[in-house]
Structure 1
Amino acid sequence: MMVLYTPIFHHLAATLILCQTSSCAGGFRYLTLFVITQDAATVKIKDVSLEIAFKPTWSNLRAYQGYFHCSDELLNRIWYSGAYTLQTNEVPVDTGRITKGVASGWLNNGALGPGDTIIVDGAKRDRAVWPGDMGIAVPSAFVSLGDLESVRNALQIMYSTQDQLTGAFDESGPPLSQKNSDTYHMWTMIGTHNYVLYTNDTAFLEKNWDGYLHAMEFIYGKVTYPSGLLNVTGTRDWARWQQGYNNTEAQMMYDDTTPVLRNTILKCHSLYHTLKTGAELATWAGDTTNLTETWNSRAASLKEAINTYCWDNEYGAFKDNATDTILHPQDANSMAILFGVVDSDRAAGISEKLTKNWIPIGAVAPELPENVVSFISSFEIQSHFAVHNPARALDLIRRSWGWYMNNPNGTESTVIEGYLANGTFGYRSSRGYGYDASYVSHSHGWSSGPTSALTEYIVGLSVTSRLGKTWNIAPQFADLEFAEAGFVTSLGKFKVSWRKEVDGYSLRFSVPKGTSGNVILPFVNPSRRPSIVMNGVKSAADVIYEESRARIPLKQGGSYTIVVN
C-alpha cells in the first residue's frame, strides 16, 4: 500500500502534488488517499500519474534482448516474472534504502554505487547490492534483459569498498555495508567471473584484478589442515541457521576450505566454486604465475576433503558440517551437484534425497525450518536439470513458483523472496523479520532461478566461454511439446528451438559465425542409438556417443536443422 501525506491549501483552484525521490516506494499494489481535517472539506482528484523508477537507462522497457516460449503457459509466465523482477531490481544509484535513523515510513535516497543504474536485491527492500543474490540474478538477467551495466556497477562498489588491509569484501553494498560474511565475500568473486563470462569486460577485470587476488588470499587463508577444509569465521549468510566452522555450503563455493565445528557445508562448496571460477579468471586475466594450475589443484584437494569429511554415507547426502549433525541442508546439497563436487552416482542420489523436503507448494529448507526459500530452490532446480531429470525440476518449478504465480494475494507478475510452509507470506518471521509479513519482498531477484534454468536446460542454450565464443546446446524435454529461447551478446544472436515429432524431435538453431560448440542430443529410445539428420545429411562420423546422448562438435556457427528419430 502507498500512503501519501501532503498539505492541501485553501483557496487554490488546483494543487500539484509531487513525491520526492526519497519517497520512492519501489513498488506497491494500491494507493490510499484520505483527508485529515476538523472541517468539512471536498477534494477533487483530476489525475493520478506514476513515474517508473526502475531500469533508468532504458527508454523502451520492453526491449528485452532475450526471450523464452514453450508449450506450458505457466512456465512462460514464470520465466517472464523472473525477467520483470530483475528489471524492477535495476534502479537509479541515488535511490538506496536508508535504515539508520528512520523511525517510521521509508527513506530511499541512499547512494548505492557508481554509474546511472545498479542491481539491488529487491524493488522495495533492501534496495542494496547483495552479491549472494547476484549468484542467481545475474545469469537470469543475462538470458533475459541482456544489459549488464547494472551488474558491473554493483560489482564495482564491492571492490571500491573492499577492506584494503585484509582483502575482505563487505557482505552488502552501501548504505547498508554489512560485514562478516565469508559466503558473500566469495559470491563477489564468483560474480566477477560470471560478469566477465557474459560480457568479456577485460577492462573491468584488469582494473580489479589486484583486489580479486587480495580477496582470494583472504579467503584461502582460512583453510586449515590437516582437514583441508574452510574454517568459517565470517558467519553471516542468507539467513540459514548453523553458520560457522566447516560449513559445507561455504566449502563448495571456495573449493579449498577447512571444516569448522559448526560451519555448514554450504561454504565449503562456495569455496570450491570460487577456486574453479578463479582458475578460469586467471587465464582471462593473462596471469603468468601459474595461478590457474594452483587454484585448480587446491580445488581438487578441497573436493576430496569435502567428500571425506562431510558426506553422510548412510543417508546418501551431505551433512551440514563435519560433525555428527543429522541436518542435510538444501543449499549445500543442491550446490554439490551444480558445482561438480560429486560424481554422477552421488549426484543422482542427492537429487532424489532433496525431494524429501518437498511439500505441495515447494521445498522446505531444513537449514531454515518451515520456510520455502526461493533463492535456494533456484539452485535446487538447476541441480535436478544437471542430473538430467527435467521432470523433477519442472515439478518443483510448478509447485513453488507456479503456486505463487497463481496466488491472488501475490503480484502474479514477479517472484517472491520466500514464504512459509503453511502458505502465508511470513517468510523469516522468526529469523530477523520480527513476524512482520509486510517486510517480505515480493520482487526479489534471488528468486529468478527458473528464468536462466528454462533457457539453459529446457531449451539447452548456454555459453561456455566469454560472450558465447563457445556454447552448448543440450535440450531437455520432460512433458513439454516444444520450447524456444534466445539471447544476444556482442558476437550476435543466439536462437534455439525444438519440437517433439511423431518419431522423435527436431532441433533448429542459429548461432553467430566465428563461434563453435557442442550439440548434445538425448536419445529418443534409451536402448538404441538414434538416426540423426543435420541440414538434410545423415550424420555419422562426427557423432560422439556418451551414455544415452549423442554429441556433435560444430566448429563453425550458422543456422542448422537437426532431425532425431
Structure 2
Amino acid sequence: MKRSYSPSSRELVPDGFSPIVLQPGQTVRFDFEIKRAGLLHVRLGGASPAWERIRYAYTSDDRLFPSLYKGFEDEAWLSGRFPSYVRMRPFGTLSQFVSRGDGVYVLEDDLTVLRYLEIDNRSDEPLEILELWLVYTAAPYKTVGGFECDDELINDCWAMGVYTTEICSQPSKYTQRELIGPFSDYVIWDGVRRDKDIWGGDLRPASLTALYAFDRPEIVKNTLELLLSIQHAEGEEKGIIPGSGAYGQIFYEWTMWTVVNLWEYVLLTGDVGYLRENANRLIEVVAWMNKRMDRDGLISGLNSWMYSIDARGKISGLALAQKAAWDALHRLFALLDHPLRHFCQEQAERTKRSILAQFSVAGTPLLTMLPAGTKQRDRFAIDGNLWAILHDVADPPRAAAILQEVQERFWTERGSINVVPVFEESEDGAWWWEVLPKEAAVWRHNDTIWPYMSAYEALASFHAGQTDRGLEVMRRIGASHLNQGHRTYWEMMNRDGSLPVGNHGDTLSLSHAWGGSSSYGLQAYVAGIRPLEPGFASFSAKPALGGLKWMKAEVPTPHGIIEVEAERNPAGQIKGFVRHPQSIRCETGAGMEIVRRRP
C-alpha cells in the first residue's frame, strides 16, 4: 500500500555528490531530489575571511533562485515586511555557518528546509567542499495508516498530504520561540521553513491527517497542550486560547478550532483523561464565548482567517467556527457528564439559526461573507460555505446547491479561489493589512488558491455524499503541485497554478500542513472509517467509492489497525471486507464482510 515520501535514511546526501573545489566566480547547485527538512552539514577546507563573499541560497523550487538572490540587494524583498520571518530567510553568506569542529559546519545552526542548495563563490579564493549532508529531523514516527485505489493521482495526493504533515512535524526546540511540551519533543508546525510555529486553526486539519496516518498520537496532544497552556487567565480576553504558540497572537476563529481539535483528538484516541485535565480550561472558554456573544448569539471578530481583510464584526467564517466549537464543547462536556453540555447544545442551535438568518440572501444558496447587505454589494467567501456543509448548518438540498454554485463561481482549472466577487478598493475601502503594500494584499486574496480551503472543499463534497466531486477537487489541486515536481502542499498558489511569488517579493511557504487533510478524508469518507465512540470503541466502515473501481485503507486506533478493502463488481455493487481488532465493534453496509482479528 502506498505510504509516504519519507526518506529511507535519516542522513541524506545530494544526488550524485562528490567533493569539489569551487573556483572564484563559480556557482554550484546541489539537489536532494525532494524537499527535506533538517540540519544541513558541510565539511569545508580551512576557514577564511573570504567566506563573507561566498553566498548561499536554498529553496525547494529552482525557479525561486532569482528572487532569493535579489534578497542580497534588498533584504526587505523577502523578509523585511515580516520581522518574525527574518530568521528563516533562505540566503546568506558562508560566514553565517556555525562550526562544529573538525572542518564541519552547520548552516545557520538552525533547521533548514530545501531541495536545492546553491553556493556562489564571489571571493578571490577557491572553496573546497569535501562533504555535504542533511540530518533529517522530522518526527521519527511510522506511517501505519494508508490509502490506495485504482487512481494513481489520488494515491499521490494521499501520500503528499501525509508527507506535508510529516515534514512539518519537527523538534519543538526549533520553534520561533523555543517551546517545551510535556508529552513529546515534537510539535506540528504549519510552515516548516518560514513560520516554524503552531497555529491553532491550521493545526486542526493537520491533526486529522496525523491521527489517521502515524503510529503515535502524542505529537497532536503535545501541540494542543502548548496552545491550551497559554490560555489567558485574566484581562479583557480572559479564557481565550491564543492562535499561535510562539507569539500568542489572537484570532478568534483559531480559539474555536482548537476546541474542535481537542474534541477530535479525544474522539480518535479515547484519551478522556486528558479531557478531564482540561475541563476547567473549557469552562473558561465557554465563559469567554458567552461574554463575546451579541444579542443574536454571534461573536464579532477582530479580523478574518486570512488575517489581512479588514472584516471586523460578524463574519460567516467566524460564525461557522463558533457553531463547530459549540458542537465540540457539547460533546466534550457530555463525556464528562457536566451540566454545561446542555448550555453548549443550546448555543450551537442558536448559532445555527443566527447564521441562516443573517448571512442568507435571496437568489443564491451561498452564505454571504458579512451579514447580508452590510457592504455596497454582497460578497461570498468560500470558507463559511464549506463549513456550513461540514457542520450541518446547510441541510442536504442547500449543501448540494452550495457545492454547485461554488463550482460555477469559484472553480478554476487548479482549484477554487477564495472570494467572489474579488476585492476592489473603490468598493471595500481600506481593507488591506497595514504591513503589506496594497498590491500585495490584493494579489494575496484575489488571484490565489489556498490548499487549506481546497482540502475543506474535498471534505465538504465527501460529507455531502459527492465522492466524485471531492476526488476531482483533490486531483486539481494535487496535480498543480505534483506536475511542478513538488511533494508537499503549498500555503497558496497563483490562480494559474504557478509559484506564489508576487512582484512585491515574499515567496510564502511551499510546505504548509494546513493543506493535507484531504488525505484524512480519503480514509474517513471514501473508505468510510470513522469512530462512533471515543477511541474507536465502535466505528463505522461504509465505503463510498464514487467512480473508483476499488480501494484499500488502513487506520491506526488505540486497539490496533482497522483495514478496509472494497471494490465495485460488474453489477455495480460494492463488495469487500472490514478487518479489525476483536475488542471493538463495527457498523458497515451491505456487501461488506466483517472479519474480527484476534490479538
Alignment deviations for residues 243-291 of structure 1 (CA, whole Å, 9 cap, x no partner) = 33121xxxxxxxxxxxxxxxxx11111111111111111122342xx22
Q: Report whether the alignment pairs 1:365 with 2:427.
A: no
Q: Report whether the alignment pairs 1:122 with 2:122.
A: no
1:160-199 alignment runs, 5 A limit: 160-165=229-234, 166-174=238-246, 176-179=247-250, 181-199=251-269
The structural deviation recorded for 1:184 is 0.7
**How many corresponding residue pairs?**
474
Alignment deviations for residues 54-108 of structure 1 (CA, whole Å, 9 cap, x no partner) = 21xx2xx5x212011111111111101111111111111110136xxxxxxxxxx
Q: 1:387 aligns with which of 452, 464, 476?
A: 464
**Aligned residue in 1 for 2:490:** 416
TM-score by length of 1: 0.79
Q: 1:426 aligns with which of 500, 509, 514?
A: 500
**Aligned residue in 2 for 1:558:** 596
Q: Report whether the alignment pairs 1:479 with 2:552.
A: no
Where structure 1 has 5 or more consecutive residues not aligned to the other structure, the ranges are 9-13, 99-109, 248-264, 522-531, 536-553, 561-565
Stretch moving more, 302-311 or 67-76: 302-311
Tell me how large the CA RMSD over aligned residues is.
Answer: 2.4
1:78-89 alignment runs, 5 A limit: 78-89=157-168
Measure the CA separation in 2 of the matches of 1:319 and 1:414: 32
Q: Which has the higher contact order (CA 8 A, sep 6+)?
A: 2
The structural deviation recorded for 1:113 is 4.4
1:44-123 alignment runs, 5 A limit: 44-55=128-139, 58=140, 63-97=142-176, 110-111=178-179, 113-114=181-182, 115-123=184-192
Measure the CA separation in 1 of the matches of 2:294 and 2:215: 41
Counterpart of 2:388, as a letter, is: A
Q: Report whether the alignment pairs 1:320 with 2:369.
A: yes
**Aligned residue in 2 for 1:260:** none
Measure the CA separation in 2 of the matches of 1:486 and 1:131: 27
Q: 1:337 aligns with which of 371, 389, 392?
A: 389
SS in 2 for 1:33: strand
**In 2 relative to 1, CA 244–390 (structure 1 residues): closer, same or farther, beyond 3 Å?**
same
**Aligned residue in 2 for 1:267:** 318
1:1-80 alignment runs, 5 A limit: 1-2=57-58, 5-6=93-94, 16-19=103-106, 22-25=109-112, 27-38=113-124, 41-55=125-139, 58=140, 63-80=142-159
Measure the CA separation in 1 of the matches of 2:273 and 2:498: 46
**Aligned residue in 2 for 1:494:** 562
**In 2 relative to 1, CA 240–67 (structure 1 residues): closer, same or farther, beyond 3 Å?**
farther
1:505-520 alignment runs, 5 A limit: 505-520=574-589
CA contact (8 A) 1:334 1:383 kept: yes
CA contact (8 A) 2:269 2:557 kept: yes
Measure the CA separation in 2 of the matches of 1:185 and 1:7: 42
SS in 2 for 1:47: strand
CA contact (8 A) 2:303 2:309 kept: no
Counterpart of 2:158, as a letter, is: W
**Aligned residue in 2 for 1:541:** none
Counterpart of 1:445, as a letter, is: A
**Aligned residue in 2 for 1:346:** 398
**In 2 relative to 1, CA 326–7 (structure 1 residues): closer, same or farther, beyond 3 Å?**
closer
Taking every aligned residue pair, what percent have the same amino acid on both sides? 20
Counterpart of 1:483, as a letter, is: M
Question: Is the helix fraction higher in 1 or 2?
Answer: 2
The structural deviation recorded for 1:51 is 0.5
CA contact (8 A) 1:329 1:366 kept: yes
**Aligned residue in 2 for 1:207:** 277
SS in 2 for 1:407: coil
Counterpart of 1:32, as a letter, is: E
**In 2 relative to 1, CA 337–240 (structure 1 residues): closer, same or farther, beyond 3 Å?**
farther
Measure the CA separation in 2 of the matches of 1:16 and 1:467: 51
Counterpart of 1:172, as a letter, is: S
Q: 1:156 aligns with which of 207, 214, 225?
A: 225
Q: 1:462 aligns with which of 525, 530, 534?
A: 530
The structural deviation recorded for 1:397 is 0.9
**In 2 relative to 1, CA 21–214 (structure 1 residues): closer, same or farther, beyond 3 Å?**
farther
Measure the CA separation in 2 of the matches of 1:129 and 1:210: 22
Q: Report whether the alignment pairs 1:136 with 2:136.
A: no
The structural deviation recorded for 1:426 is 2.2
TM-score by length of 2: 0.75
CA contact (8 A) 1:237 1:243 kept: no
**In 2 relative to 1, CA 213–234 (structure 1 residues): closer, same or farther, beyond 3 Å?**
farther
Measure the CA separation in 2 of the matches of 1:559 and 1:111: 41
CA contact (8 A) 1:230 1:245 kept: no
CA contact (8 A) 1:229 1:306 kept: no
**Aligned residue in 1 for 2:214:** 145
Measure the CA separation in 1 of the matches of 2:326 and 2:530: 21
**In 2 relative to 1, CA 472–243 (structure 1 residues): closer, same or farther, beyond 3 Å?**
farther
CA contact (8 A) 1:96 1:112 kept: no
CA contact (8 A) 1:229 1:246 kept: no
Q: Report whether the alignment pairs 1:299 with 2:383.
A: no
Measure the CA separation in 2 of the matches of 1:21 and 1:492: 42
**Aligned residue in 2 for 1:396:** 473
SS in 1 for 2:130: coil
Measure the CA separation in 2 of the matches of 1:516 and 1:243: 47
CA contact (8 A) 2:552 2:563 kept: yes
The structural deviation recorded for 1:448 is 0.2
SS in 2 for 1:221: helix
Counterpart of 1:442, as a letter, is: L
Alignment deviations for residues 186-221 of structure 1 (CA, whole Å, 9 cap, x no partner) = 111111111111222233222222111101210232
Measure the CA separation in 2 of the matches of 1:474 and 1:124: 39
Counterpart of 2:477, as a letter, is: S
Stretch moving more, 482-491 or 199-208: 199-208
Measure the CA separation in 2 of the matches of 1:70 and 1:380: 20
SS in 2 for 1:123: coil
**Aligned residue in 2 for 1:538:** none
The structural deviation recorded for 1:125 is 2.0
**Aligned residue in 1 for 2:428:** none
The structural deviation recorded for 1:328 is 1.7
The structural deviation recorded for 1:7 is 5.9
Counterpart of 2:134, as a letter, is: L
Measure the CA separation in 1 of the matches of 2:104 and 2:471: 47
Measure the CA separation in 2 of the matches of 1:28 and 1:397: 25
The structural deviation recorded for 1:4 is 6.8
Alignment deviations for residues 434-458 of structure 1 (CA, whole Å, 9 cap, x no partner) = 83242x2111110002211111111
